[in-house]
Amino acid sequence: MRKDVESLSEALRLQHTRCEVYHLWDVKFHTALSGVLSANDLAATLNSSIITAFQHVSSSLRELQANAQKENGEVYTFLDQWIERLQRLEQEHYRTSIQLQQLIVQHCAAIPQRNCKDTEVTPTTTTTTTSEKEKEGEKEESQQGDNSGEKEKEKEKEKVVESCHVYASLHDSEHCRARHLIPVSSQTALTFVSCRDAMFFSSDDDDENDDWKRDVKSDNKQQGDLTNNNNNNNNNNNNNNNNINSDVNDNDDNVYDDDGRVSFVLRSGEEVVYVPREVQQRCAAFNKEIMPLYQMKRKLKQELQEWTEELQEELAAATAVG
C-alpha cells in the first residue's frame, strides 16, 4: 500500500473511532439520566475513557496532518485540508454536545414539589414580639434559655416545612421535548403530567414540534441500540398508558383547586401537588433553549458525515490509481 493511501486510511479509521466514542458517551449519559449510573461514575468514565479517547484521536490526526504537510502531492494536500476542516467541525460539535447535555441535566433534575395543599407555610424564621425594653430587665441566663427555646421551635418548624415537599422531575407530557430527546428506557426518573389547561402553544408551535419529532426519529435510526427505545417512545405518544414510566398523569378530567393546582400520586405512593401552568412554562423555556442547540448539533453531524464521505471517495480514487 502506498504511503499516501495508508495515511488516508488511517485518517478514516481515526474518525470512525471518534464516532464510536460519541456513541459510547451518549449511552453512558442516558444511563446516568435513568439513575442506573451515578453522577460520580459518569464523571469518572468521562475523564478516564471518553475524554482520553477524544484526545488520542485528535492528537493522532494532527500528527498525520503534520506529516502530510512535509510531503508533496495532491493526496497529501487533500489530507492536510481535510483534517483542518474536520478538527474545526469537531471542536464545535463537542462544545455543542456539552451544552446540550448540560441543559438536559438541569431540566431533568429532581426539584422540590409540594405534597400538601396548604398554601401558607410557616416561615422557618420568626420575629420576636417582645420589645427591647421588656428584655432589658432579663438576666443573661434567661436570655440564653429563651434563645435556646426559640432555636428548638425553629428546628421544629423547619421539619414541618421540609415534610411538605417531595423531590420529583415533572414534565409536560404533550410538549416537553425531553420526552423525544431521551430514550424511553432512560426516562424512568422523569414524571410526565398533563398540562392541557395551559394554552401557551399556538398551531405553529405544534407544527414545529412535529418537525422536531421527525428529526429526532431520523437521528435515532442512526444510533444502533438506541433505535428501538426511541421508536417505542414515538409509539407511546399515541398511548400514554403504556409508557414505561408509570408516573404519567394524562387525565383530561383533572380536578383543580382554587389556585389551579392538581393532586397527583407518584409511583412511590407519595402525593404531590403541581400547577400545570408552571410545569408547562418550565418545559416551554427548556424547549426554547434546547431547539437551537439540537439543530446545531444535527447540522454539524450532517456536515461531519458528508466530510467523511469525501475522505472515503478520495481513498477509493487513490487506491484505484495505485
* pLDDT of 162: 43
Interval 112-137 mean pLDDT: 46
pLDDT at residue 208 tops 60: no
Question: What are φ and ψ of residue 248, in 5° steps?
Answer: -115, 125
Identify whether residues 116 and 241 lie together within a single domain: yes
Instruction: Check whether 279 has a pLDDT greater than 70.
Output: yes
Q: Residue 321 — pLDDT band, cuts 50, 70, 90?
A: confident
Cell numbers for 145, please give them.
434559655
CA distance 272 to 137: 49
127 in a structural domain: no
Q: Is residue 315 included in any domain, yes or no? A: yes
Based on the fold, state whether residues 216 and 70 are members of the same structural domain: no
How sure is the predictor about 245, in pLDDT bands with cuts at 50, 70 and 90?
Answer: very low
Helix 276-321 to helix 3-33 angle (10° resolution) is 160
pLDDT tens for each residue of 33-74: 998 988 889 999 999 999 999 999 999 999 999 999 999 999
Residues 148 and 261 grouped into a single domain: no
**Residue 126 counted as domain residue:** no
- At 143-194, the pLDDT tens digits run 555 555 565 655 554 444 444 567 889 999 999 999 999 999 999 999 999 9
Is residue 248 scored above 60 in pLDDT?
no
Q: Is 145 contained in some domain?
A: yes
Q: What is the pLDDT of residue 267?
A: 80
The percent of residues in the chain predicted with pLDDT above 90, rounded, is 50
- Looking at the fold, whether 181 and 255 belong to one and the same domain comes out as yes
The residue-averaged pLDDT of 13-28 equals 97
Please check whether residues 281 and 171 belong to one and the same domain.
yes
pLDDT value of residue 16:
98
Cell of 316: 477509493
Report if residue 125 sits inside a domain: no
Amino acid identity of residue 106, one-letter, is Q
pTM for the structure as a whole: 0.71
- Label residue 266 by pLDDT band (50, 70, 90): confident
Are 251 and 180 part of one and the same domain? yes
Q: What is the pLDDT of residue 119?
A: 42
Measured between alpha carbons, how far is 143 from 276 in angstroms, rounded to an integer?
A: 48
The band of 300, judged by pLDDT with boundaries at 50, 70 and 90, is: very high
Residues 200 and 310 in one domain: no
Highest mean pLDDT among 111-125, 205-219, 222-236, 252-266: 252-266
The H or E element that residue 264 is part of is strand 262-265
pLDDT at 159: 44
100 and 192 housed in the same domain: no
What pLDDT, on the 0 to 100 scale, is given for residue 268? 79
- Where are any strands of DSSP class E within 103-258? 111-114, 165-168, 170-172, 191-193, 248-249
Residue 42 lies in domain: 3-106+296-321
Among 94-108, 167-181, 232-246, 258-272, which is the least confidently predicted range? 232-246
Structural domain count of the chain: 3
Q: Are strands 262-265 and 271-274 parallel, antiparallel or unpaired?
A: antiparallel
**Is 92 inside any structural domain?**
yes
Let me know whether 282 and 187 are in one domain.
yes
Do 206 and 136 share a domain, yes or no?
Answer: no
- Predicted pLDDT of residue 110: 87
H helices of 182-271, where?
203-220, 227-236
Considering the domain architecture, whether residues 301 and 278 belong to the same structural domain is answered as no
Question: Is 183 in the same domain as 278?
Answer: yes
Task: Please state the rounded mean pLDDT for residues 270-276.
Answer: 87
Provide the grid cell at 232. Answer: 417505542
